[in-house]
Amino acid sequence: MGVRAIVQDEYGGTDRLRRDELPDPVPARGEVLVRVGAAGIDRGTVHVMTGLPRLARLGLGLRRPKPRHRTPGRDVAGTVVALGPDVTGWAVGERVYGTADGSCAELAVVPVARLARRPERLAVEEAASVPVSGLTAHQALRGAGVGPGQRVLVVGASGGVGSFAVQLAVAAGAVVTGVCSAAKADLVRDLGAAHVIEHEHADIESEGVRYDVVLDIGGHRPVRRLRRVLAPRGTLVVVGSETSGRWLGGLQRSVGAALLSPFVRQRLVMHVAAERGSDLAELTPLLESGAVRPHIERTWPLEEAARAIEHVAAGRARGKVVVVVDPSA
């Protein structure tokens, strides 16, 4: 009997996903084998499934997903069950979280460089919701130098990355304004935002504030409009944009900001997260203390992973969505 996993053989929607049984994966040098307790679902999972934007296929596979991308899911939390050759500093039985190539499965191989020890305070599904979104928010704010007393605007404050960004900025002592839909405003206030802009009723300029840092997550506003609410020496961090463009999918906005940056006083940053276990370990004390807490909207069992991915793809998620594989792991 093999390992239960969700797989896809070609790009497309959730109709291309199916449950299958795969051979037991074997960890190579620098890797461990993890019994998966839960797998977080983020926008990256959707991009791998659809193969969009098409530029991403240079790494994912031109015509169909490469073997290591056949199983969706990147965020993972679980328990180490085997060590690869020459792996030191880790032990079988340790509870861990990090990023894997395909976490919607009972077993996943995880490079130790992308692994950290799980916060004891968190349940396995909570830990699985942290890595990709938490790292993206942490690295973006750290790179922008967010600190006490600064005014920070988070556009897309109710999503996976945004929900962590609001909390991390507040924990750093910043005064945070979150931009989200009216339906999600109470969530963003609960996360610690001092002010909330409901984008159906007001624009980002409505507060009359110039922000020290603007963190734009999956937005569509032109860079010039974001710069209008940025302090003269402020920092704009563009995390991403979700558009229908089949080739770049909004990436041109991030690239354009980075190219413009040397010619203006404001600092304009195109942010691409790095999956580093050492950075994930920096988040652990904040998670242990409760200063930062995962907000999970819903969970689905492994057999219904397609529903979880569809929920994220449709933009309906309030916080994080998680696939639970084995709650005891």
Average pLDDT over residues 116-120: 97
What pLDDT does 1 receive?
65
CB atoms closer than 10 angstroms to residue 32: 23
pLDDT band of residue 132 (cuts 50, 70, 90) is very high
Per the rule left: phi > 0, alpha: psi between -120 and 50, beta: everything else, 269 is: beta
What pLDDT does 250 receive?
59
pLDDT over 90, % of the chain: 75
DSSP string, 31-68: EEEEEEEEEEE-HHHHHHHHT-SGGGHHHH-SSS--GG
> CA-CA distances (angstroms) from residue 260 to 144, 156, 256, 274, 325?
17, 23, 6, 23, 45
Tens-place pLDDT, residues 215-260: 999 778 889 999 999 999 999 999 865 555 564 555 677 777 778 8
Kindly report the pTM of this predicted structure.
0.93
Q: Look at residues 109, 160, 116 and name the one whose alpha carbon lies nearest to residue 276.
A: 116
pLDDT band of residue 271 (cuts 50, 70, 90) is confident
Q: Is the pLDDT of residue 55 over 80?
A: no
Most confident option among 168-177, 232-241, 260-269:
168-177
Average pLDDT over residues 146-155: 97
pLDDT band of residue 47 (cuts 50, 70, 90) is confident
Q: Token pair for residue 58?
A: 């240079």
Q: Answer for the pair 170, 146: CB distance below 8 angstroms, yes or no.
A: no
Q: Distance from CA of residue 64 to its chain's centroid?
A: 24
Mean pLDDT (the chain) is 92
What pLDDT does 251 receive?
67
> CA-CA distances (angstroms) from residue 51 to 66, 226, 244, 248?
11, 29, 13, 11
C-alpha–C-alpha distance, residues 178 and 93, integer Å: 40
What pLDDT does 16 receive?
93
pLDDT band of residue 277 (cuts 50, 70, 90) is very high
What pLDDT does 246 receive?
64
What pLDDT does 241 receive?
57
Beta strand pairing call for 211-216 and 230-238: parallel
What pLDDT does 107 receive?
98
Give exposure, 6-27, as e/b (b: 16+ Cβ within 10 Å): bbbeebeebebbeebebeebeb
User: Domains along the chain?
Assistant: 3-130+295-324 (3.90.180.10), 133-270 (3.40.50.720)
Element (H, E) at 277: helix 277-289
φ/ψ (deg, to 5) at 71? -100, 125
